[in-house]
Amino acid sequence: MRATLAGLLGRRPGSAARLLLAAAVSLAPIQTALAQQHGLVGLREADSAAQAAPGARPFGPIYARPPQLDNGSERAELSFALSAPVKATSFVLAAPDRIVVELPQVEFAAESADAGQAKRRHAAAASGGLVASYRFGLFAPGKSRIVIDLTAPARVLRAASVADRSGTHLIVALAKSDRAAFLAAARRDQQVAEADRPASAPLQTAAANGLPIVVVDPGHGGIDSGAMVHGLVEKNIVFAFARELADKLRASGHYKVIMTRDSDVFVALGERVKIARDAGASLFVSIHADTISDAASVSGATVYTCSEHASDAEAARTAEKENQADAAAGVESKDDDSGVSDILFDLTRQETRTYSHVFARTLVNYWQVAARLNKNPERSAGFRVLKAPDVPSVLIELGYLSNASDGAALTSSKWRGATTDKVARAIDAFFTAKGVLPEKAAAAAPPAGPLDPTPTAAIK
């Protein structure tokens, strides 16, 4: 419609032409809203036809409806209705076996958070087909991704958009393959990915002006939603918390603050660690929220540090779940092991973990003044995101989405305001005890109690 009006208006001079053109432009948001209201999610027939022409470039976002899955034991096909054609590429990953499809940025139709994921997983698993489960979403700015978990090795027959009278569809067709061929393809795809990966530039830290650098890490993001219960989505909850905490730390003037992600994008675990190390961070705080499907009574915040052996079975379960973030997004997990085999490294890591434990105890002491703690609030396990050998690091599980009281708190701006205040105060107290900040920075400390960290003595 806009193209037709523009053509007519090009031959119609004067203010009337400008008014008509403005009216056409102003109708665009209304058309989009109406399309969404009727479940079309931007798939307007006129737009689709115009954009499906060979060589046409989309003039707006590309939308996708929820997919259809035809899941057989030998062949499977996943199909998305699109508002415009897209270019798709694919590769395979082993251990666990996955197919990854990369796309330009696509706005996938929203489903109810946990219901959508559960429906996809259960429908796929119940069929006994080649696809065990699948997920899709934003992977990085300008890039989306579909990750398909397999029940058996498979190869991609086709990953492309096709247009016919019914519209434009993205088709991902798979066929069962043998293990040897699948592993060979995974090795080949990995080699290609390594060759194409650009070298990341080190983070510039000169702007810190001598201030300690604090890295705030909102867990999950993009295609990796994290825990999802009763419409609560972990990646969104922890991002809101992390952003408010970062704002308060910056406002204090005591720190240079870096967030590992500042939007809804995926960041690999190893990259989060690298961000902290490249920045020369003095503290790394990772924010998460937990869930236990069969124990809705479990509640409260937990602060984790890194250790080779988990402090208990629950800590081991939590670390295993959080360490699967890369796999969920179709990324090969890799740790930075450069220069880790000498005595100096061991001493540095030991000192770093001591500082991590001191901060964890300080944080627990402050948190208990404002909000509920888990019955065992200090735990440790092998979290990959906490493994920087030279950056004191903790992971905070804010609470349990599976607990009704915690779920209500985690979405409360009042609760978030109170708890981010205490985390900021705990950070002040940690750096004051190290002699980095003046004593006044740790004012309004919580009363001493059985969890009093006495950080100065511990650091000596």
* Predicted confidence (pLDDT) at residue 210 exceeds the cutoff of 90: no
Six-digit token string for 420: 């981010």
Share of residues in the chain with pLDDT > 70 (%): 73
Percentage with pLDDT > 90 across the chain: 63
Average confidence (pLDDT) over 171-188? 96
Same domain, 302 and 173: no
Quote the pLDDT of residue 128: 81
Helix (H, G, I), strand (E, B) or coil at 33: helix
Q: What is the pLDDT of residues 6-48, one digit of tens each?
A: 443 344 444 444 433 444 444 344 334 434 433 434 444 434 3
One-letter amino acid for residue 162 of the chain: V
* Cα within 13 Å of Cα(421), Cβ side: 14
Lowest mean per-residue pLDDT among 82-91, 127-136, 271-280, 449-458: 449-458
pTM of the model: 0.76
pLDDT reading at 306 higher than 90: yes
Would you place residue 54 in the very low, low, confident or very high pLDDT band (cuts 50, 70, 90)?
A: very low
Provide the residue type at 206 as one letter: A
**Residue 202 domain-assigned (yes or no):** no
Length of the chain (residues): 460
Domain check: are 271 and 358 in the same one?
yes
- Predicted confidence at residue 2, as pLDDT, reads 43
Q: Residues 196, 224, 123, CA angle at the centre, nearest 5°?
A: 115
Is the pLDDT at 115 greater than 80? The verdict is no
CB atoms within 10 A of CB 29: 9
Q: Is residue 203 part of a domain?
A: no
- In terms of C-beta density within 10 A (0-12 exposed, 13-18 middle, 19 or more buried), how is residue 51 classed? buried
Split at pLDDT 50, 70, 90, the class of 194 is confident
pLDDT in tens, 362-376: 999 999 999 999 999
Q: Which of 158, 188, 218 represents a domain boundary (last residue)?
A: 188
- Looking at the structure, tell me whether residues 266 and 296 fall in a common domain: yes
Rounded to the nearest integer, the mean pLDDT of the chain is 81
Dump the DSSP string for 429-454.
HHHHHTTSS-GGGG-SPPPP-TT---
- DSSP notation for 193-246: HHHHPPPPPPPP-GGGTTPPEEEEEE--BTTB---EETTEEHHHHHHHHHHHHH
Counting Cα atoms < 13 Å in the Cβ hemisphere of 89 gives: 6
How far is Cα 132 from Cα 111, in angstroms, rounded to an integer?
A: 19
| CATH code of residue 97 | 2.60.40.3500
Residue with tokens 């992977």: 139
With cut-offs at 50, 70 and 90, classify the pLDDT of residue 380. Answer: very high
- DSSP label at residue 448: P
Same structural domain, 22 and 90: no
**Over 80: is that where the pLDDT of 452 sits?**
no
Q: What is the pLDDT of residue 41?
A: 40
**pLDDT number for residue 377:** 97
Residue bearing tokens 């627990």: 364
C-beta of residue 234 within 8 angstroms of C-beta of residue 228? yes
Binning pLDDT at 50, 70 and 90, where does residue 333 land? low
Q: How far apart are CA 312 and CA 24, in angstroms?
A: 63
pLDDT tier at 55 (50, 70, 90 boundaries)? very low
Using CA atoms, how far apart are residues 145 and 330, in angstroms rounded to an integer?
8
Query: 3-class SS at 266?
Result: coil
CB 415 within 8 A of CB 352: no
Separation between Cα atoms, residue 30 and residue 24, nearest integer Å? 10
Asked, for residue 55, whether it belongs to a domain, the answer is no
Lowest-confidence range among 4-13, 110-119, 311-320, 329-338?
4-13
Q: Are residues 25 and 111 in the same domain?
A: no
For 409-440, the pLDDT digits (tens) are 999 999 999 999 999 999 999 999 988 887 65
pLDDT at 29: 44
Segment 306-320 mean pLDDT: 94
Give the model's pLDDT for residue 435. Answer: 86
Tell me phi and psi for residue 56, to 5 degrees.
-70, 145
Q: Does residue 317 sit in helix, strand or coil?
A: helix
| pLDDT above 50: residue 95 | yes
Assess if residue 433 is contained within a domain: yes
User: What is the rounded CA–CA span in Å between residue 325 and residue 331?
Assistant: 9
Report whether 205 contacts 85 (CB < 8 A): no
52 inside domain: no
Please indicate, yes or no, whether residues 145 and 244 belong to a single structural domain of this protein. no
Query: Mean of the pLDDT values across residues 171-186?
Result: 96
**CATH for 319:** 3.40.630.40
Q: What is the pLDDT of residue 249?
A: 97
Looking at the structure, tell me whether residues 325 and 246 fall in a common domain: yes
Degrees, nearest 5: CA angle 392-226-239? 60
What are the tens digits of pLDDT across the range 228-240?
998 999 999 999 9
CA-CA-CA-CA dihedral for 421, 384, 221, 332, to nearest 10 = 170
Q: Where does residue 199 rank: exposed (0-12), middle (13-18), buried (19+ CB within 10 A)?
A: exposed
Structure tokens at 336: 């930075």
Q: Which of 385, 269, 274, 284 is nearest to 332 (CA)?
A: 269
**Weakest-pLDDT range from 54-58, 80-84, 123-127:** 54-58
Q: Are residues 266 and 319 in the same domain?
A: yes
Do 240 and 380 lie in one domain? The reply is yes
- Whether residue 48 is contained in a domain is answered as no
Using the predicted structure, report yes or no on whether residue 188 has a pLDDT greater than 80.
yes
Q: Are 182 and 100 in contact (CB under 8 A)?
A: no
Q: What is the DSSP string of 105-147?
A: -EEEPP--HHHHHHHHHHHHHHHTSSEEEEEEEEEETTEEEEE
Round to whole Å and give the CA distance between 460 and 206. 29
Give the side-chain half-sphere CA count within 13 A for 264: 16
pLDDT given at position 199 = 54
| Cβ-contact 304, 315 below 8 angstroms | yes
Same domain, 351 and 259: yes
Residue 254 lies in a domain: yes
Residue 223 has pLDDT above 70, yes or no: yes
- The residue ranking higher by pLDDT, 81 or 208, is 81
In this prediction, residue 332 carries a pLDDT of 77
Residues 33 and 175 both lie in one domain: no
- Tell whether 111 and 230 lie within a shared domain: no
Tokens matching residue 168: 């434009």
Q: Please count the other Cβ atoms lying within 10 Å of the Cβ belonging to residue 370.
A: 17
The predicted structure's pLDDT at residue 111: 54
Mean pLDDT of 99-122: 70
Q: What total number of domains does the chain contain?
A: 3
User: Is 165 in contact with 158 (CB distance < 8 Å)?
Assistant: no
The residue range of the domain holding 34 is: 2-7+17-39
Segment 259-273 shows an average pLDDT of 95
In a domain, 245, yes or no: yes
Q: Give residues with Cβ within 8 angstroms of 337, minimum separation 6.
A: none
